[in-house]
Amino acid sequence: MTRLFKRHDKSDIFIHWFNAACWLLLLVTGVGLIGNPDIDPVGSWYPDTLRTLVGGGGNLLTIHVVIGFAWILGFLWYLTVNARGAAFFLREVFMVSPARDMAWMIKKMVLMTLGPKPLKMIGMAPELPEQGFYNMGQKAFAQASVVGGVVIAVTGVIMFLSDKVFTAETAWIVSWSVTLHYIAVGLVFAGLLVHVYMAAISPEERPGFRSMFTGHVPEDYARHHHGLWYREISSEPAAKGE
């Protein structure tokens, strides 16, 4: 029987899918709140239709704000129940070893789109440098999500507070919040497309995808995809547990 390695806590799994659901709903409602032909991501038919569906732009804004606060509360809950997990995540995600990780990133992008031939043609070995708990692609998207998420949450709260505490003199902060909210969502969404493909559609990461439900990955997946992490853990728990 193949050995399993624990990758995610129940709270990790919950916050991942909770975040996914919130982001989907926030994206769907948020794009509908942009009502200006110069910045509409998909054209004015979308906000027009959505606003009609929910009985007006004001209702759509309320829905967006309620989901936004639920999202923030979800994260505060997660931080209280699994602060250690959050700290581990942040440490792993922001610790980059430049030479190893950049080489991984560039090779992986070529391998995934063009295959190993171009790498061989320029005399590069197609083998990927070993990765830790997260590979550089996961790190890059996680970094964007953390930084982007904080920017999105803070600017969102500022916009919510606009008609409660801000004045004509300080409204420029609200206006810049709109801009930053827009840019941050755009950039995180660009990364999200790749994340969804790599995690849910690409066959290679299937065991990783399953672990986002079960919390565990099989040994050969851990060894092949997260070699540095595998070597760290395969000695420890194996010696004690199995």
Task: Give residues in contact with another protein (CB under 8 A).
Answer: 33-36, 38-39, 41, 47, 56-61, 109, 111-116, 127, 159, 162-164, 166-168, 171-172, 174-179, 182-183, 186-187, 189-191, 193-194, 197-198, 201-204, 220, 223-224, 227
- Least distance (Å) from another protein to the CB of residue 24? 16
Q: How far is CA 64 from the centre of its chain?
A: 19
Cβ nearer to another protein, comparing 14 with 166: 166
Both tokens assigned to 225: 């995809």
CA 6 to CA 99: how far, in whole Å? Answer: 28
Both tokens assigned to 59: 């209702």
- Least distance (Å) from another protein to the CB of residue 30? 11
Cβ nearer to another protein, comparing 71 with 221: 221
SS3 9: coil
Asked if 135 and 107 count as a contact pair (C-beta separation under 8 A), the reply is no
Cβ nearer to another protein, comparing 94 with 197: 197
Cβ nearer to another protein, comparing 204 with 232: 204
Both tokens assigned to 44: 């004015």
Q: How far is CA 176 from the centre of its chain?
A: 24
C-alpha to C-alpha distances, 138 to 45, 113, 134, 143, 210, nearest whole angstrom: 35, 17, 6, 8, 16
- Least distance (Å) from another protein to the CB of residue 51? 8
Task: Determine how many CB atoms are found less than 10 A away from the CB of residue 171.
Answer: 12
In the chain, the amino acid numbered 229 is W
Cβ nearer to another protein, comparing 43 with 241: 43
- Least distance (Å) from another protein to the CB of residue 165? 8
Number of Cα atoms under 13 Å in the Cβ half of residue 153 = 17
CA 15 to CA 71: how far, in whole Å? Answer: 9
Asked if 193 and 199 count as a contact pair (C-beta separation under 8 A), the reply is no
Cβ nearer to another protein, comparing 24 with 109: 109
Cβ nearer to another protein, comparing 36 with 123: 36
- Least distance (Å) from another protein to the CB of residue 88? 25
Q: Any bridge partners for residue 5, and if so which?
A: 217
Q: How far is CA 80 from the centre of its chain?
A: 20
Token pair 């801009």: residue? 179
